[in-house]
Structure 1
Amino acid sequence: MAPRLDWLALHRQHSNTFASWIHRQFHYEYAGQPLPDWQREFAEGQDNGDWKCLIALDHDELLGGAALAKADLTHRPDLGPWLACVFITPEARGKGLAERLIEGICAQAKANGEKRIYLHTQDQSAYYARRGWVVLERFQAWEKDQWLMARDL
């Protein structure tokens, strides 16, 4: 049976786990934010809409997720919403889960009346380009090249 997608707000027991995966995967972005602070911000984000997260579950096992974020890039507060926090556990990769989650986030943004959604990535620009995202600019952050991308909804 294919993993099911659902909102993290309905499965709060997974919030700290997913937040810790994101904190570890994108450690350069959280260098100044201790894990407990991020876990609290992320959990609150399920209610205040800052980090509305869609997760993939196999029964009750968390396999990954993606978030619809209000703000995800400090130097571009003019842009949003954002696709953020895309992460699949290593053992669940290669099965199209990320794509399902990304499409779910885009569908939610569209349902919210948004016309465009943004993301930034340092190593997955080709993956997103194949899925209809366009590069708006390249920039330097966290001592690496980053790609700012967008997709019309």
Structure 2
Amino acid sequence: MTLRLDWLTEHMHHSDTFAAWIHRQFHYEYAQQPLADWQREFSEGQRNDDWKCLIALDHDHDLLLGGAALARADLAHRPDLGPWLACVFVTPQARGTGLAQRLIEGICAKARDNGVSRIYLHTQDRSDYYAQRGWSALERFQAWGKEQWLMSREL
């Protein structure tokens, strides 16, 4: 397997698939947004940089293995913050390989290249994972009927 990270804009035939994975994985966030509407928003977000997505491919087979996005906005009640690490997802067969970390670092590098000094994320159940990788917890909050963590990382 030849693993390759690249921007989704270069592989738009994978956009709807990745958007569907995110819609399903984070179903509580998208409960009010039909899948087709999210797929359209996500696809447009590749062009207007609202959801700039870095994907992982098994390049030999053009197989999508995961991705992560640099989002302009990702938390409605905190429009003052951004940009965001969002939409982190790795397929079950590629988990445990360090791929998520590579995707996260790729997004952080892109943000840094864009002149960003701090990036944010929110997570329901992965705060320990992110804390071990240099992210700081800023606050706990309620959203989508669940406890969430707001975290940031200096770049």
Q: TM-score, normalised by structure 1?
A: 0.99
Q: Which residue of 2 aligns with 1:103?
A: 105
- Give the superposition deviation at 1:3: 1.1
Q: Trace 1:9-88 onto structure 2 (pairs within 5 A).
A: 9-59=9-59, 60-88=62-90
Q: Secondary structure at the match of 2:28?
A: helix
Aligned-partner residue type, residue 94 of structure 2 = A
**What CA deviation, in whole Å up to 9, does each residue of 1:98-143 have, x standing for no partner?**
0000000000000000010000000000000000000000000111
Q: Following TM superposition, where does structure 1 have runs of at least 4 consecutive aligned residues deviating by more than 3 angstroms? A: none
Q: Count matched residues.
A: 153
TM-score (norm 2): 0.98
Instruction: Report the alpha carbon displacement of residue 2 of structure 1 after superposing the two structures with TM.
Output: 4.7
| Structure 1 vs Structure 2 CA RMSD | 0.6
Per-residue Cα deviation, 1:6-65 (whole angstroms, up to 9, x for no partner): 000000000000000000000000000000000000000000000000000002100000
Structure 2 unmatched runs, 5+: none
Structure 1 stretch displaced more, 28-37 or 1-10: 1-10
Letter in 2 for 1:57: L
Q: Percent identity?
A: 78
Secondary structure at the residue paired with 1:55? Answer: strand
Distance 1:14 1:144 in 2: 30
